[in-house]
Structure formats: C-alpha cells, structure tokens
Amino acid sequence: MKVKGYIASAAVIAGAACVGIFGSATGAIASVTAHSAASSCSTSIAIEGPFTGPVAQLGLEQLHFAELAVANDNAANHTKVTLAQDDTQLTPSIAVTKTNSIIASSAVAAVGPAGSQEVEAVGPLFAKAGLAFISGSATLPALATSGKNKTFFRVVPDDNVQGPQDAHYIINHLHPKAVLIVDDDEAYSQGLVSVMIPILQKAGIKVNHQTINGTDTGATLANALSSLVTSQLTPDETVTILPWQAAANAQQFGLDAKQQG
C-alpha cells in the first residue's frame, strides 16, 4: 500500500506541477495551452523521508518509487520535473529543518514526510507557505481534521480504518483472552492504540497497555524491551501488539520473548 501510494502521490504532484501552472485558461483553450506548455515545463518537487536511520529500508523504498513515478511522468508528458531529496530520519525536528529548506527553495510541492509525528511538526509550516504536501504513510486521523495542516493530503487510509481492521483480525482469527499492546510514544503508534483498545475490550479481551520511548537506542532501548518481556508479558497474553515504525525494535522484542520462554 505504501509503495503504490508513493507512486500515485509523486505522479499526481509531478503532473500538476506543470499542468497546473497553465490552468488559468478555460475549455479547449486551456487543454491546448496546458499540453503545449507542459512539453517545455521545467519545475521541481521535493520528497521528505527517512533515507537513513532505523527505518531507512522503508524510506528508500518510498524514494525509489517516487523517482520512478517522476521519471515515468516526465517521459509521458515530455516535462522536466526534478525530485529533490530531504532525509528526515523519521525525526520531527529534522523534518522541520528540511521543510524550511523546501519552502525556501523553488519546489512547487512536496511528497512526504513519512511519519505522522513528522507531519504534525511540519504541517503548519507548509500551510503558512501555501505549499501542498502529500504523504503515502502518515495515518493519524487528526492530521486531516485538526485544521492545522490545510495543505496536507495522503493516499492511504487513516488509523480509523487500519485500527479496526487490525483489532477485528486479532479477535476473529487469533482468539486471545488477553493481549499486551505497547505504544512507542509517537503519533502513529498512539493513534492505532487508541482505536484498537476499545474494540478489543468490547470483545471481552483483557488489555495490558504499556508505553516505551520510541526514540531510545542502544543499551537503553535493549533494557526497556527486556523489561517489557520480564515484567509485563504473561502466559495469558497470547498476542502482543507492537504498532511501531521501527521493525528492528519489534524483532528485538520477539527475540527477548523467545529467549525468556
């Protein structure tokens, strides 16, 4: 879903970047004007994503498919749209710095950022600048309803769709009596947890909700994950839910649980 989303978002923005510039005419005149102008159009868009850091494997997928979409769009429309790369490392403070650079550049729009917490941080900046940005993976519902991100778009369902799907799968296929659900204190994680817990509880499932610091690394993170397993995971909790963005953290949790039986 994220891969297809980034193809769509990059292609839509790249196409609109040129055609939209010449959209002031009407009817047949507008169509001819846009077509001929697009043939010589040169413009730029930017992509914000985690190209390095703990989720680089996802960010690089998003980048490469965005590059493919822009290349295909240029070939189809004979345009010259370039794609500037801005590495956010899935960190809101870095995303703010990158966004300010994009706003100051010649970019007419942006793809990304990837994380809901990043969109929370940069949405008001893009809105103030009047610059459209479209994410293929930021799912927090409030991003589209808070009124702070007036130029924000996305091409994926939000947590109000994803959360119930996840919860009902667990209820209907895994049949646990109790679950451990752990958020990582980030917007994406908290959004899913807030949607899923009431559904699980309504189905009669006991929910043990815990929180870790998703920005921890190294020994601090390792100790936190190990502590979760030893102090919170019980034999009754036959399903553990980790709505985290860093897959490596979930993998380490699984290894800890296996080692401790």
DSSP readout, 171-232? IIII--SEEEEEE-SSHHHHHHHHHHHHHHHHTT-EEEEEE--TT--HHHHHHHHHHHHHHT
Could you tell me the CA-to-CA distances from 60 to 89, 100, 156, 162, 213 in Å, in that order?
11, 22, 18, 23, 24
> So what's the pLDDT on residue 247?
87
pLDDT score of 33:
39
Residue 41 is predicted with a pLDDT of 80
> What domains are there in the chain, each with its CATH number?
2-154 (3.40.50.2300), 159-259 (3.40.50.2300)
* b/e per residue 230-258 (b: at least 16 CB within 10 A): eeebeeebebbbbbbbbeebbeebeebbe
Q: Residue 64 CB: number of other CB atoms within 10 A?
A: 12
Q: How confident is the prediction along the chain (261 residues), in pLDDT tens digits per residue?
A: 344 455 555 556 656 666 544 333 334 333 433 444 545 688 999 999 999 998 898 999 999 999 999 999 999 999 999 999 999 999 999 999 999 999 999 999 999 999 999 999 999 999 999 999 999 999 999 999 999 999 999 999 999 999 999 999 999 999 999 999 999 998 889 999 999 999 999 999 999 999 999 888 899 999 999 999 999 999 999 999 999 988 889 999 999 999 988
CA 211 – CA 220 distance, rounded (Å): 14
| CB contact set of 202 (below 8 Å; sequence gap of 6+) | none
- Say what the pLDDT of residue 245 is: 87
Q: What is the pLDDT of residue 215?
A: 84
Stated pTM of the model: 0.78
